[in-house]
A and B are shown apart, each in its own frame.
Chain A
Amino acid sequence: MIVIDTATGKIHEVEIEPVETGDYQSLTKRRYFFNWMDEKDKEVYKLKIIGTSGIIGLVSIERIPKEWRIHIRLLTVSKENKGNDKKYENIAGNLITFVSKIAVREYAELACVSLKPKGVLAQHYIDKFGMNITGKTLSVEISEILNLINTYDHD
C-alpha cells in the first residue's frame, strides 16, 4: 500500500500494524481527533510510512462473526492530513482496504465492512469508496472490496 505526498507527488510505501500499548501515550486528541485511550481494549491498527515512526492514520474495529462483518468503530488521519492541505493522500482508503482484507480472510465471499458516519460524511464515503447505504449504515461487500483492493493494495 502507498500514500502520495500531495506537494511533490512522491510515493511512499506504508505499513499497517496493531497499535501497541506504548503508542497510546502519543495518540492525543489534538493530533488524532478522538480519545483513542477509550479504544485501548479494542482491535486498533496504525498506519505509518515504512522507515518512519510517525503514525499518520488509525482505525479501530469490531469483528462480528455472526454477521460475517467487521464494523469500523473509529477511523482517523493525523492532524496534518486533514482537509485540502493534507500532506498525504490515500490514508483513509488504505485503512478501509486493510480492514476489507481482514474481512475477506475471515469470511471470503460473505465479507462485509461497515461504518456509520454522521451527517454529510456518508455521501463522501459513498462517492469515494463505492460504499452501499442501508439506513444510516454504509458498507462494502465482496464486489466493492475487490475494487478497493485493486485500487489501494499494491502488495
Chain B
Amino acid sequence: MTNKKKSNKEIEGAEYGVDSRYSSKKERQVDGKALMEARLRKMQNVSEDQIIKAKLLQLKLNMEEYIKKPVYKDHNFFTEFLTIYIDTIYSRRNNFAKDINITPVRLSQVLNNHRDPKEEFMLRLMIHSEKTYKNVCQFHKKTWYQVYFHEKICDTMSSQDEWRPSVEKHVSISKLIKA
C-alpha cells in the first residue's frame, strides 16, 4: 500500500475514533505545559466581547443545568443568575434598570430578595435576554421563567414541614373518592 492510499483510508474513517490517552504522567505534564504556554499567548488576543460571550454562555448552561433536576437547597438561584447576568453586561446595575425601564430601587429589591419580580419585570427580562443572546448562542425565551418557577417548586416541596401543618388545617375533603 502506498503512503497516499494509506493516508486516504485513515482520513475516510477519521471520525470513528480517537485514542488520545496519555501514556505517562510525564507526557501529560509536558503536553499540558506546552499547551498552556500557547494558550496564554493566545489569551492576550481574546477580546472583551469574547469574554462577555463566554460568561453569558456559561450562565445559560448553568441555568439549563439547574432546571434539569430538583435542587433542594436554601439558595436564591434566580437572583444569583440574574445578578451574574447584569454584572456580566453592565458596569453599573442602574443602567440595566434604566434599560428595562424600572427603578433602581425596584431592581435592588429583586436582587436582594426583598420582593418577588413582577410579571412586567419577567417579560422585560425575557426580551432583554433575547436581544442580548442573539449574537451569542441560542437562548430559550422561557429560561428565566423556568429558573424562577423551578426554584419556587423546589422551595415549596422542601419546606413542607414548615407550611403543611398550618395549611392542612384549611383543607377538608367532603367527597372522598374510595380506593
With a cutoff of 8 Å between Cβ atoms, the chain B residues found around residue A154 in the complex are: 138
B57 and A104 form a contact (CB under 8 A): yes
Binds B, one of A6-14, A18-26, A47-55, A129-137: A129-137
A109 and B38 form a contact (CB under 8 A): no
**A72's contact among B10, B12, B20, by CB below 8 Å, is which?**
B20
A73 and B34 form a contact (CB under 8 A): no
Expressed in whole angstroms, the minimum distance between the Cβ of B95 and any Cβ of chain A is 22
A64 and B32 form a contact (CB under 8 A): yes
Chain A interface size band reads 35 or more
A114 and B54 form a contact (CB under 8 A): no
Bound form: Cα–Cα A121–B12 in Å: 10
B14 and A121 form a contact (CB under 8 A): yes
Bound form: Cα–Cα A132–B58 in Å: 22
With a cutoff of 8 Å between Cβ atoms, the chain B residues found around residue A120 in the complex are: 7, 10-11, 14
Interface of B is mostly: helix
With a cutoff of 8 Å between Cβ atoms, the chain B residues found around residue A141 in the complex are: 39, 42-43
A116-B54 contact, Cβ under 8 Å, with A104-B61, A124-B11? no
**B38's contact among A116, A132, A149, A155, by CB below 8 Å, is which?**
A132
A142 and B50 form a contact (CB under 8 A): yes
Expressed in whole angstroms, the minimum distance between the Cβ of B156 and any Cβ of chain A is 27
Q: Does B65 contact A (CB under 8 A)?
A: yes
With a cutoff of 8 Å between Cβ atoms, the chain A residues found around residue B7 in the complex are: 120
Residues of chain A from 84 to 124 with CB closer than 8 A to chain B in the complex: 84, 91-92, 101, 104-105, 108-112, 114-121, 123-124
A124 and B42 form a contact (CB under 8 A): no
Bound form: Cα–Cα A137–B25 in Å: 15
Interface of A is mostly: mixed
B61 and A83 form a contact (CB under 8 A): no
Q: Which residue of A lies closest to B14 (CB)?
A: A124
A91 and B15 form a contact (CB under 8 A): yes
With a cutoff of 8 Å between Cβ atoms, the chain A residues found around residue B137 in the complex are: 146, 149-150, 153
With a cutoff of 8 Å between Cβ atoms, the chain A residues found around residue B19 in the complex are: 34, 73-74, 118
**B50's contact among A83, A119, A143, by CB below 8 Å, is which?**
A143
With a cutoff of 8 Å between Cβ atoms, the chain A residues found around residue B138 in the complex are: 153-155
Expressed in whole angstroms, the minimum distance between the Cβ of A105 and any Cβ of chain B is 5
With a cutoff of 8 Å between Cβ atoms, the chain A residues found around residue B11 in the complex are: 120-121, 123-124
Closest 9 CB pairs of A and B: A76-B17, A109-B54, A116-B20, A82-B16, A124-B14, A92-B15, A134-B38, A115-B20, A108-B58
Q: Does A46 contact B (CB under 8 A)?
A: no
